[in-house]
Chain A
Amino acid sequence: EAGVAQSPRYKIIEKRQSVAFWCNPISGHATLYWYQQILGQGPKLLIQFQNNGVVDDSQLPKDRFSAERLKGVDSTLKIQPAKLEDSAVYLCASSLVLVNEQFFGPGTRLTVL
Chain B
Amino acid sequence: AQSVTQLDSQVPVFEEAPVELRCNYSSSVSVYLFWYVQYPNQGLQLLLKYLSGSTLVKGINGFEAEFNKSQTSFHLRKPSVHISDTAEYFCAVTLAHAGNMLTFGGGTRLMVKP
**Does chain A bind chain B?**
no
Question: Which A residues lie at the B interface, using CB under 8 A?
Answer: none
Question: Which B residues lie at the A interface, using CB under 8 A?
Answer: none
